[in-house]
Amino acid sequence: MSSVATIKREFIPPHLEVKGGHPLSGVLKVSGAKNSALVLMAAALLTKETLLIKNVPQLTDIEVMSEILLNLGAKVAKRSNSIEINSTSIHNAELPYKLVHSLRASFFCIGPLLTRLGEAKIPLPGGCNIGARPIDEHINGLKALGAEVEINKDVVKAQVLTKNKRLRGTNITLKYPSVGATETILMASCLALGKTTISNAAREPEIQDLAKMLNSMGAKVYGAGTKKIKIIGVEALKGTSHSVIPDRIEAGTFLIAAAITRSPIIVGPLIPNHLSAVISKLQECGCSISHHGNHHLKITPRDISGVDITTSPFPGFPTDLQAPFMSLMATAKGSSKIKEKVFEKRMQHVFELNKMGACIYLEKDTAHIKGVKELIGSHVAGGDLRSSAAIILACLSAKGNSIFTGLEHLDRGYEKLEEKLTNAGSIISREFDHTRSRSSFPNKTISEDNINTQKKAA
């Protein structure tokens, strides 16, 4: 059954146009890790000396974090993929709502501000399109370190009332291994009086990268990357130069791009043990993966079959790659089940993938997927950063052309994505023309058998 869209002019925002079905080749280059760079930038507030952070990706989230630091009175100098920050003269302990609302990671500043200025006023970051995103663990940790914290009209006001305005080390156990809470407590305890331990700490590589930089600034952090981190408070931290680790989520996205387009390619630089859970699932579903030179992997996809995944904190399967992996499972042989156990609203891509002819049925936190022969190019929209990446991967593998809108999400976390994909053989371009006749949109033809399988699966 096919329906050709009637001719009418329609406004479409800046978007990506993707010609599906083109294999990838060569190398997909991985940038520095967004989720490491953001917290490293916040940590710059802990010292009065200059911090040079290298291998920083050029992303809108990084731009917002730079604006936040400037707003606090820090000096920020950006040079392509390096950022130099000097926060000697920070004078403002308050962050404006408009900046916090656009970047949750701005909440990372609360610990360093408390340490440096003895106070901090930060609007509640609020939920976002993947879940409630509470910050109770951050607040409980700061209170345990001796801060007074109150929430008034959605603004978190924290202060250190002790006479020397210094936090005091203590033992903290997290109810959930929250990445952000571990990072907040880690930064706040570096300059506290005495020893702090964080039990049930998050083990993500970004925590290890933060601890490595803090230690090069003179901090005493032990056990980062394990469930128990110990910090001995010091008197002051100095400046340093630090290079951000490769982005394991971008690297995983590129490995999945190879698998979904059935293209043998090389991905890197990356750190393989940051991706162990993803690599083993890709091997389980039919890809062979081998080391290639320094810090690169070669992936050779064969027949892809459905495999089940459940997301969990590191070293489990990362929630940030759940959506991209679902796109792969949508065209795998046989069925699969994907359970999202970290965030409660991280399935926005299901609707868009089904629009492209996928056969996915959602039941609470679990997606039941029946692989289809092929997806059909469509006019699709991203609802958050990682669902946008998933949809782009689906467009790369689909039959026909697609139009992707939602660049404001994609540009938060993937540096020069269409440039990297074009260099690897994709036909993808960023278009800004605002109106065009609908007839140029991809025909909405979903083959009969896809519709029947969707009905059966539902």
Nearer to ligand EPZ, 8 or 364 (CB): 364
Of 36, 59, 88, give the one whose Cα is nearest residue 214: 36
Q: Which long-range contacts (CB under 8 A, 24 or more apart) does 283-289 make?
A: 285/259, 285/328, 285/329, 285/332, 286/259, 286/332, 287/255, 287/258, 287/259, 289/255
58 vs 153: CA distance, rounded Å? 34
Q: Is 325 helix (H, G, I), strand (E, B) or coil?
A: helix
94 vs 13: CA distance, rounded Å? 34
Of 305, 298, 316, give the one whose Cα is nearest residue 254: 298
Of 367, 362, 402, give the one whose Cα is nearest residue 382: 402
Min separation Cβ 340 and ligand EPZ, Å: 10
DSSP 8-state code for residue 51: E
Min separation Cβ 395 and ligand EPZ, Å: 19
**The pairing of beta strand 82-86 with beta strand 287-291:** unpaired
Q: Residue numbers of the site for ligand EPZ (CB under 6 A)?
A: 35, 38, 105, 131-138, 176, 178-181, 202, 204, 319-320, 342-343, 385-386, 413
Min separation Cβ 372 and ligand EPZ, Å: 27
H-assigned helices in 261-316 = 276-285
Min separation Cβ 193 and ligand EPZ, Å: 24
Burial 103-118 (b: 16+ CB within 10 A, else e): bbbbbbbbbbbbbbbb
Nearer to ligand EPZ, 65 or 167 (CB): 65
Q: Is 332 helix (H, G, I), strand (E, B) or coil?
A: coil
Nearer to ligand EPZ, 35 or 401 (CB): 35
404 vs 15: CA distance, rounded Å? 6
Min separation Cβ 451 and ligand EPZ, Å: 32
Count of CA atoms in the C-beta half-sphere (13 A) of 309: 30
106 vs 363: CA distance, rounded Å? 34
Nearer to ligand EPZ, 180 or 301 (CB): 180
**Nearest residue to ligand EPZ, using CB?**
180
Min separation Cβ 257 and ligand EPZ, Å: 17
Nearer to ligand EPZ, 304 or 342 (CB): 342
Q: Are 358 and 394 in contact (CB under 8 A)?
A: yes
Nearer to ligand EPZ, 87 or 388 (CB): 388
| Residues assigned a catalytic role | 128
As given in the structure block, the two tokens for residue 1 are: 């059954």
Rounded CA Rg of the chain: 23
Nearer to ligand EPZ, 242 or 386 (CB): 386
